[in-house]
Amino acid sequence: MPRESRSAGDSRRCRVSATPLQSGATDPGPLSAPWSADARAVARALGCDPDAGLDPEEAARRLAQWGPNEIRSMEPPGARELIARQF
């Protein structure tokens, strides 16, 4: 992924500009299985220092692009659905 320039006083913070894969793309790049890699290795591949985190501008950009990092709540299943799942 291409990295944006960093300021001299902020060399430990992440500033990554991500380009989404096109539909049908087959090359996952350096993070083909990030769930099986060491967290620090994944951070290095993304140009980040996990101890410093994102700088405020990058965090604001990602928040605006992707929204808050929260799990959307779902309605609990009704009684009929619970019974139907048993069969």
What secondary structure letter does DSSP report for 16? B
For residue 40, being part of any structural domain is answered with yes
Domain count, the chain: 1
For residue 74, being part of any structural domain is answered with no
For residue 8, being part of any structural domain is answered with yes
Given a cut of 60, whether residue 82 has pLDDT beyond it is yes
For residue 86, being part of any structural domain is answered with no
Task: Name residues whose C-beta falls within 8 Å of residue 1's C-beta, 6 or more positions apart in sequence.
Answer: 16, 17, 18, 19, 29, 46, 47
71: which strand partners? Answer: none
Which pLDDT score is estimated for 22?
46
For residue 6, being part of any structural domain is answered with yes
State the pTM of this model: 0.42
CB distance 18 to 4 below 8 Å: no
For residue 83, being part of any structural domain is answered with no
Given a cut of 60, whether residue 56 has pLDDT beyond it is yes
Q: How far is C-alpha 74 from the chain's CA centre?
A: 22
How do residues 29-54 score in pLDDT, each as one tens digit? 567 888 899 988 888 887 677 888 88
